[in-house]
Chains A and B, each alone.
Chain A
Amino acid sequence: MSSRELSWLPGTLTVARREIRDQLRDWRILTPIILLTLFFPVLMNFTANQAVQFVERYGADIIGDRLIPFLLMVVGFFPISISLVIALESFAGERERLSLEPLLATPLTDGQLYFGKIIASMLAPLGAAYLGIFVYLIGLFWRLGWQPPLPLLVQILLLTTAQSIVMVTGAVVISSQTTSVRAANLLASFIIVPVSQLIIGESLIMFWGRYSVLWWIVAALVLVAIVLVRMGLHLFNREQLLGRDFDDFDLKWVKRSFWTGFRGRAESIAGWYRELLGETLPQARGSILIMILALLVAYWVGYRAASEFALPSDLFRADRLQGALGNELSSFGLLTARGWLWVAWNNIRALGLASVLGAFTFGVAAVVLLMTPIGIVGYFAGNFALAGGNASRVLGGLVLPHALLEVPAAILAGAAIVQLGLAALSLPKGSSLGASWLEALGKWARLNLGLVLPLILAAAAIEVFVTPRVAMALLAGVP
């Protein structure tokens, strides 16, 4: 029997075609798609019409103007929400029906199967979304004579597509990590919650009328989609899909995986520190570099922002500064042990929050959060400079003593979170997402406990006992 070479695209499309054919035979998928494509846009059209007529009576035309594009986005979003359901079902459903193994036994590559399923999950709902948008626009043009500005239409189409890609790639990651559709649906909240927050955010932006922000959202979604595709490709392999069960909660395994990362091969505390400094820290050098760059950028942005949003220059007069500093010393309990605990606890809390946020955003939110105080420092330094003061002297007095330890602590803490985020993206071959993440969590804890925490405690002590004295001494001569 003759056969031709199995090239990449035909194999992918073969998988996608079968899935789409299967979807189009399933009334449970077809019915909502038809309703959301034909009935829902008409309903939205009616809503827009009524709303415009109503607000015009009160001269609030702006509400109508903002509502129509918002409904355009909603009309596009509803059908693509079905792609989430299809994608969640894609691998977990095949596993459950035991139809995955025959497919895995074919010459199809992991990538062909993965992309075939992504295309199949997206195509029908996305087609329905475009059709729905078209129906909605036809109706608006017919009844109100409204035409969308081309950039807005492009934005909505791109936004709809990017949202669909993000939901589908995320769902495929979840689906490939579960053994049943039920488990996949339970885990879907990891997608539903962020996406619903995103839709709320987009709605606010659209009612605010800052449509240019939507371009940034599209760009961010594309980045997230790339990350998720990469992650999905890494996680989707025959071993993972057939080799083991993922649904069982095994506390011993959780502890073992975490402990592997936290303890490493160390037999003593000295050995643990040697491994931390000799292995864990060098492993994080890329993330450390990212953090250093991010903090430099934050300082620069803050400094530049001062010229755009300058504070009144008399706020930076030396006598006012000294007075303010004196007040701070007494109100925050500086120069006392209570003040030291307060500062340390505050910093630990901030890093904890950054870690939690970073854990769910591949480290991005943590980096942004840690950039904020440095940006503020830059902003004040800029204002000092604008007020004609000596910014480096002020910084040297108010920030530098404790910053010498606190900034490295922030860099290391941020790097540890970035490493944790990256763990999900660069899994060692053969290891599962859970095991890799738990091991990375162990290393995160190792870095934080071994280096960040001592640095924070020491920095807090300097901030409370040394910095105020240095500041008072230095600022006494500030012009």
Chain B
Amino acid sequence: MVPPAIMRGDGAMTPLIETLELGKRFGSLVAVDQVSLRVEAGEVLALLGPNGAGKTTTIRMLASILGPTQGWVRIAGLDTVAHASQVRRQVGMLTEHHGLYTRMKAMEYLAFFGEIYRLRPESVEERAYSLLDRLGLSETIELRLGAYSKGMRQKLAMARALLHDPAVLLLDEPTSAMDPESARLVRESIRGLRSGNRAIVVCTHNLHEAETLADRIAVIRKGRIVAQGSPEELKREFLGSPIMELRVAGSLDGAARLLPHGATLRETGPNWLRFQAEDPETVNPAVVRAMGMAGIEIVTLSEIGRSLEEVYLSVMQSERSN
């Protein structure tokens, strides 16, 4: 039941998920502190952080399972405390632990949740079959859930979260218990769920998953967001400008001296050099021109891939040193 995008008075769209200085304390333990997030419709945000960082507590507050002790959360413009039940109707949540009823079968299980969401039985059946098929579970509908493998259980839990076609999808470690093939299937499903009307938050400590799924990543440590942005923005912020590698035919022969302004030499080899380009769009053509004028034949000019892992480790290291 995806609601139409909500238009504010000033003509701007209300984000589907919005938090301001969100905090949660359990006695003296601060689980979440000053978390401000904004996820628009059509966007996927990955909450990335180590175990115990506060990801699950944050997601539980987004789902209106836990109330904040500080700040607020709005889902589709609704406050999660004042309109808890309405908020939960807009949210589909894949919990970290699938928590299935093992004596049930898949269709019965989904029908139970369909009943809770007061969906019409015929539409539940249709939707359930479609989801089970999409998640590769259609062969297993005659099995009791107790006979399901971990991956199958996780996929069924995913189907449960999607059953009512929620506007906000919260996925807590969606592929944690899965074999590589199932994990890939689920990741593809998540990518397929991206729509103009839906916001998705994925909690994970799987960096590859975060990078491949998310438009934006928020790194959380000890309950606080310590970095936030698109993967590219984060790389730029924490690892600096992109590194380019130039490979030439023959030896370099002083090519390093020809690098234009805005390109900083980092490493050299017998027939290659690496430079950091502040603005690759202007620097790279200048490099190509300079080499051509010097008669140096270019074999390749490409960006050195930098992983999110480097970003993550850099963020964590700088936080620890702080």
Name the residue of chain B whose CB is nearest to the CB of A18: B112
**Chain A residue with the shortest CB-CB distance to B60:** A242
- Across the interface, do A107 and B117 meet the contact criterion of CB distance under 8 Å? yes
Task: Say whether, besides A1-B119, A22-B103, A243 and B112 are in contact (CB < 8 Å).
Answer: no
Which among B63, B99, B119 is the interface contact of A97 at CB below 8 angstroms? Answer: B99
Q: Does A6 contact B (CB under 8 A)?
A: yes
Set of chain B residues within 8 Å of A98, measured between Cβ atoms: 95, 97-99
Kindly state the separation between the CA atoms of A105 and B97 in the bound complex, as whole angstroms: 13
**Would you call B1 and A22 a contact (CB within 8 A)?**
no
- 8 A Cβ contacts from A1-33 to B: 1-6, 10-11, 14-15, 18, 22, 25-26
Question: What is the chain B residue whose CB lies nearest that of A101?
Answer: B95
Q: Does A265 contact B (CB under 8 A)?
A: no
Query: Roughly how many angstroms separate A413 CA and B233 CA in the complex, as a whole number?
Result: 67
Does B320 count as interface, using CB distance less than 8 angstroms? no
A5 to B1, CA, bound (A): 13
Minimum CB distance partner of A109 in chain B: B85
Q: Which residues of B contact A97 (CB under 8 A)?
A: 99, 102
Residues of B in contact, count (CB < 8 Å): 37
Is the C-beta of A255 less than 8 angstroms from some C-beta in chain B? no
Is A451 an interface position by the 8 A CB rule? Answer: no
B99 contacts A99, C-beta separation under 8 Å: yes
A99 CB to nearest B CB, Å: 4
Nearest CB of chain A from residue B100's CB, rounded to whole Å: 7
Write the B265-287 contact mask toward A (1 if CB under 8 angstroms, else 0). 00000000000000000000000
- Residue in B65, B89, B123 whose beta carbon sits within 8 Å of that of A101 in the complex: B65
Asked whether A102 lies within 8 Å of B164 as measured between CB atoms, the reply is: no
A108 CA to B27 CA, complexed, in Å = 27
Is A153 an interface position by the 8 A CB rule? Answer: no
Query: Does any Cβ of B come within 8 Å of A106's Cβ?
Result: yes
What residue of chain B has the Cβ atom nearest to residue A26's Cβ?
B103
Q: A99 touching B116 by the CB < 8 A rule?
A: no
- Whether the Cβ atoms of B113 and A239 lie closer than 8 Å is no
**Contacts A1-B1, A14-B116, A97-B99 given; does A107 touch B88 at CB 8 Å:** yes
Interface centre among A14, A98, A106, by most B CB within 10 Å? A106
Q: Could you mark each residue 77-112 of chain A with 1 if its beta carbon is under 8 Å from any beta carbon of chain B, else 0?
A: 000000000000000000001111110111111000
A239 to B102 alpha-carbon distance, docked (Å): 26
- The verdict on B93 contacting chain A, using a C-beta distance below 8 Å, is yes
- Shortest beta-carbon distance from A90 to chain B in Å: 13
Indicate whether A18 sits within 8 Å of B101 (C-beta atoms), given known contacts A3-B89, A105-B91, A105-B93. yes
Q: Determine if B112 and A14 form an interchain contact, defined as CB atoms under 8 angstroms apart.
A: yes
A105 close to B103 (CB less than 8 A) = no
Contacts A6-B117, A6-B118, A11-B116; A102 near B157 (Cβ below 8 A): yes
Closest Cβ–Cβ distance, residue A432 to chain B (whole Å): 10
Residues of B within 8 A of A106 (CB): 88, 113, 116-117
Give the residues in chain A near B160, CB-CB below 8 Å: 102
In chain A between 98 and 149, which residues have their CB closer than 8 angstroms to a CB of chain B? 98-102, 104-109
From A10, A26, A101, A108, B99 is in contact (CB under 8 Å) with: A101
> Measured between alpha carbons, how far is A109 from B116 in the docked complex, in Å?
11
Complex: A373 Cα to B111 Cα, angstroms: 62
* Contact yes or no, A2 B95, CB < 8 A: no
Q: Do residues B66 and A243 form an inter-chain contact, with CB atoms below 8 A?
A: yes
Does any Cβ of A come within 8 Å of B261's Cβ?
Answer: no
A244 touches B (CB below 8 Å) = yes
Contacts of B1 in A (CB 8 A): 1-3
Closest 6 CB pairs of A and B: A99-B99, A98-B97, A105-B93, A4-B118, A1-B165, A98-B99
Given contacts A2-B123, A102-B160, 19 further A-B contacts (CB under 8 A): A1-B123, A1-B164, A2-B119, A3-B1, A3-B118, A4-B119, A6-B85, A14-B116, A18-B101, A22-B101, A98-B95, A98-B99, A100-B99, A101-B65, A101-B97, A102-B95, A102-B157, A107-B117, A109-B85
Residues in B lying within 8 Å of A, measured CB to CB: 1, 26-27, 60, 63, 65-67, 85-86, 88-89, 91, 93, 95, 97-104, 112-113, 115-120, 123, 127, 157, 160, 164-165
